[in-house]
């Protein structure tokens, strides 16, 4: 079941707002504080990856099934960002979730992960 879709221009200024919304969604599905904070970190890292990839806008879809599924996508020119920062973001995402999927097809980047309910 789709809970919410957010579409916004991607910039560092909007991160806090997105984190607050993510916190609200986590509250809605009944996450404890630690899971909610982890989810916020994952959303932030995913958006940073999109930013590094040159994306100007981003979309986040929150869906609820047996887990809270988060799909984050953005379109950009695929410019190379800070390689080391990207590596750390990906490693951190992998440390916090077990089902991370990342694809880059042309200018479209998609990152998805789930948090168990």
Partner 1 sequence: MEERELFAQYRATHDLALRNEIVGKYLYIASMLAKKFVGRGVEYDDLYQVASLALLKGVDRFDETLGVKFSTFITPTIAGEIKNYFRDRSRLIHLPRRVAELRHTVKQAADKFLTETGRSPTPKELAAELKISEEEVVAAMEPQGVVSLDRPSEDGAGSAYDLIPDPDDAFERIERKDAVQSAMKCLDEREREIVSFRFGKEFSQAETAKQLGVSQMYVSRMERKILEKLRENLRKSMAD
Nearer to partner 1 among residue 107 and residue 116 (C-beta): 116
Burial of 86 per CB tally in 10 Å (0-12, 13-18, 19+): middle
Neighbouring-strand partners of residue 55: 76
Q: Contacting partner 1 (CB under 8 A), which of 2, 3, 9, 27? A: 27
Long-range contacts at 82-85 (CB < 8 A, ≥ 24 apart): 82/52, 85/48, 85/52
- Report the site for partner 1 in 57-116 (rule: CB under 8 A): 84-85, 87-88, 90-92, 94-96
**Segment interacting with partner 1 (CB under 8 A) among 21-29, 50-58, 69-77, 107-115:** 21-29
For residue 51, count other CB atoms closer than 10 A to its CB.
19
Where along the sequence are the contacts to partner 1 (CB under 8 A)? Answer: 16, 19-20, 23-24, 26-27, 30-37, 41, 44-45, 84-85, 87-88, 90-92, 94-96
């Amino acid at each position: 079941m789709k809970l919410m879709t957010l579409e916004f221009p991607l910039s560092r200024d909007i991160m806090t707002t997105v984190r607050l919304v993510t916190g609200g969604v986590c509250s809605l599905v009944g996450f404890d504080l630690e899971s909610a904070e982890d989810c916020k970190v994952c959303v932030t890292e995913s958006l940073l990856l999109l930013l590094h990839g040159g994306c100007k806008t981003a979309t986040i879809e929150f869906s609820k099934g047996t887990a809270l599924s988060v799909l984050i996508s953005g379109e950009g020119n695929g410019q190379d960002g800070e390689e080391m920062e990207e590596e750390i973001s990906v490693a951190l995402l992998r440390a916090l979730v077990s089902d991370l999927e990342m694809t880059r097809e042309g200018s479209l980047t998609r990152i998805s992960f789930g948090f168990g309910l």
